[in-house]
Amino acid sequence: MGLREQIKSAKSDSEINALLQSGQKYEFASAKTKSAWKSTAKFRLAELSSLDPSQTPEKSVESKKVSKKKTK
């Protein structure tokens, strides 16, 4: 299980912060990956702190790019 999945399944804010701190040790992680960890943590913290489930932020849906290659 990767760090992002661990953050998604974290049960408390202290667990999320500990996971983000452990991510600091990954010297070969790209800036994009680190940003994804922070974004996931922000979403998960909002999810955990919200008393009303309808108040959780919407998760963006990433669509896969469709190739426009011609088939022969």
Q: What is the pLDDT along the chain (72 residues), one digit of tens a residue?
A: 899 999 999 999 999 999 999 999 998 999 999 999 999 999 999 998 875 555 555 555 566 666 677 766
pTM: 0.66
Residue 61 lies in a domain: no
Residue 68 lies in a domain: no
Residue 71 lies in a domain: no
Domain that holds residue 29: 14-51
Residue 23 lies in a domain: yes
Contact assessment for residue 44 and residue 16, using Cβ atoms and an 8 Å cutoff = yes
| Residues listed for the chain | 72
Considering its fold, how many domains does the chain have in total?
A: 1
Residue 28 lies in a domain: yes
Contact assessment for residue 37 and residue 23, using Cβ atoms and an 8 Å cutoff = yes
Residue 67 lies in a domain: no
